[in-house]
Chains A and B, each alone.
Chain A
Amino acid sequence: MPTPTKGARLGGSPAHEKLILANLATELFRHGKIKTTESKAKRLRPLAEQLVTKAKRGDLHARRRVLATVKDKDVVYALFEQIAPRYANRPGGYTRITKIGPRKGDAAPMAVIELVEELQVAASTGPSKEARKAAAQQAKVEALAPEDEAPAAAAKGDDVQDDQDAEAPVSASGDKPGDKAEGEDTDKA
């Protein structure tokens, strides 16, 4: 059984709902920021972000898949050429919903949904947890190792390929400094 879509059902029929969401997505990419009801904004967010992800891929197949939803070719061009490059280093989360309170008339809760600005600094996913751990281990090994062994370990590390550089010295000289460290602990105790 397929997982039901999260959020409210819009319009009078599935076709109407599809049309509402497609029009909202088109206007969002045209203007960058639109005011709508909270329910519609919440339904629009996943659709708009999937379209941006397709635009980031940028090939002809992705363009045709986007054109199936956003019928306006000018908007699709703008999405692929101007909007998608802005989010090259952003791993998802391209839209922001801000609630702005009830509407006059029917008191429907309204919201502003907008495309977020360009990410200035690279996302924090740069040095991963494992890489940081390896670097810390490397620093510890170099601090514990005697002066004559540390350059040798570094030289060994340079021979290995770049992507393995963080881990290789640890395994290459892992035994000796580890033994030394235990010896020091016992001496102190």
Chain B
Amino acid sequence: MAVPKRKMSRSNTRSRRANWKATAVTTAACSQCKSPKLPHAACPVCGTYNGRQVLEV
């Protein structure tokens, strides 16, 4: 079975992991209350979607 010949250096490990990045979630302003919300989803602040009350707040 193939196995690594050398221990991976701390530098190599860290430079690999430096590329693990989280991306910011895309948001759209709610048409009712202008707070940021997920696009194509009901607003968690005012509970409306498309001018219609979906969630009770």
Contacts and interface: CB of A to CB of B under 8 A. Distances in A.
A100 interface: yes
A98 B49 CA distance: 8
Nearest to B44: A101
Interface residues of B, number: 10
B36 to A, nearest CB: 12
The size bracket of the interface on A is under 10
Contacts, number: 22
B54 interface: yes
A112 B49 CA distance: 11
Contacts of B44: 100-101
9 contacts: A98-B42, A99-B38, A99-B41, A100-B41, A100-B42, A100-B54, A101-B42, A112-B42, A112-B54
Interface of B: 37-38, 40-42, 44, 49, 52, 54-55
Given A98-B49, A112-B42, 10 more contacts: A98-B41, A98-B52, A99-B38, A99-B40, A100-B42, A100-B55, A101-B38, A101-B41, A101-B42, A101-B44
